Amino acid sequence: MRKKILRTILAAALLSTLFTVTAYAESAVITGDNVNLRSGPGMNYKVVGSIPRGASVKVEDRSNEEWNAITYDGTYGFISANLMSITEDPSAVQVVATDGFGRVNAMYVRFRSGPSDDSSVLGEYNVGKEATITGIAGDWTECIIDGRSGFVNSDYIDVETNGAVAVIDLPQAGGGSQTATVKPDSTPAPTVAPKATQAPKATQAPKATQAPKATPAVKSVASKAGYVDGDYVSFRSGPSNSSAIINTYNRGKELTLTGTSGDWSVVTIDGQSGYMYSSYVKTTGTAQAAATPAPRKGSAGYITANHVQFRGGPSMTSKNLGEFFYGDIVTIYGTSGDWTELSYKDTTGYVFSEYVKKGQFKTESSKVATGEKITGREVADFALNYVGYNYRWGGESPSTGFDCSGFTSFVYKQFGYELNRVACDQAKNGKAVSNDKLQPGDILCFYSSGSYIGHVGLYIGDNMFVHAANSSSGVITSSVTGYYATRGFVARRIL
């Protein structure tokens, strides 16, 4: 009972920066920042909207474990299941959003995707694990751990806050309410970070009559080159665990030490100055030019899909820096879990590793020029990069959109092959292939009525083909079975 009262008071104390979101059964609350709403269940589908943190959405379908179908502001689409919290309880769940700092206070504490024991487990953490607090949802604390957003049962996390006085109405049993005035302790909780191998010592909040401890002055030191000596180390805007996190870095990240402030080091990373807990900073010698650190060594790479998000950190909730498209040239520095750190036009960030590849990018036309053998599989894989693009009658380029024959013409043109422009004439290109011997790269010319051919697509394998379907669907993949099988088609092999 006492814990529930304390949690209620804590929620009141955090109201200085609150917003409230109410979700109901068959609904969900968005737990990420500016989450992309896509036209299909995957990163390759085009973005049709953006949803802010805390927004309530209607859940349409959860049969796909990774991507859920939802409706938001009348727009239907798909979002990552990890970035939303399903509300099973028909009563309202109130989420109070704020900024704060906390630590896990027990062993094997489960970090979940939503405020419920039924929500999926994102990870398990032990005593002393740092968390950035973003909200309170009933008996659960919403927080960010290692760059991921989720929920921890409030019994298992100690919260430190410098919130202002807040006056709210608290509901009473049996109806009615009482007014509660909450004044948080005026002195910030100590900011000493625990060593990785030791549990943190309990911190007792000072009495309200004590004066706040002054932040240690910054002491300049001779600039020294160094590196990060730890994983998921926070790089902050000030010498405190409650200061805003600029970014997180892993072991080996290069830095320049320029000063100290108590237990914190003033460092410069990628040209930006900030603070890092000194236990995680190692120096290697005097820096020749602290303001202009030596260029990092990286390897050439390129992006392998379209609409790939460029993030400020190794997490789906990190700041969105922009969007990549197939063939964009980047410089690769390393990996952090499932993410690859890279730079593009003087900006450093992270991309999901599945969508980046090391090596020199070769355009399809350059392969033709050098006489490299082209396979149907390569043609099919290239065509799949344009799933989600718009349909446009007479269109034959990514910038305008495609019609069916414009799409197949565009794809094969990149490999040095000129196809006839309309579907019925493309049925004369290449050589005939029986329907039971289809291979990726073959074009399928479908009948519309009688012997007239009015549609064309490109076979990708497993009884599937990719095509510019219509104005409402754009470029999609479809099965050769069912409707399209009943229409009938002729197959032509171009290569």
Residues with a known catalytic role: 404, 455, 467
CA dist 197 and 184 (Å) reads: 31
Quick count: other Cβ atoms within 10 Å of Cβ 183?
Answer: 12
Angle between helices 376-384 and 404-413 (to 10 degrees): 120
Q: 310: part of which helix (H) or strand (E)?
A: strand 308-311
**CA contacts within 13 A on the Cβ side of 61:** 10
The amino acid occupying position 221 is: V
Residues 6+ away with beta carbon under 8 Å from 366:
none
DSSP 100: E
CA dist 419 and 428 (Å) reads: 9
Contact, 66 vs 81, CB < 8 A?
yes
Quick count: other Cβ atoms within 10 Å of Cβ 155?
Answer: 14
CA dist 355 and 344 (Å) reads: 14
Phi, psi of 284 (to 5 degrees): -120, -5
3-state secondary structure of 86: strand
CA dist 375 and 367 (Å) reads: 11
Pair type for strands 130-137 and 431-433: unpaired
Pair of tokens at residue 216 = 């240690």
Contact, 47 vs 37, CB < 8 A?
yes
CA dihedral 334, 318, 105, 139 (to 10 degrees): -150
CA dist 416 and 414 (Å) reads: 6
Pair of tokens at residue 32 = 């990420």
Q: Which of 360, 340, 365, 338 is nearest to 351 (CA)?
A: 340
Q: Which of 83, 77, 84, 82 is nearest to 41 (CA)?
A: 77
Contact, 441 vs 414, CB < 8 A?
no
Place of tokens 């095509």: 467
3-state secondary structure of 160: strand
Put the strands of the sheet holding 452-461 in their side by side order: 431-433, 489-493, 443-449, 452-461, 464-470, 474-479
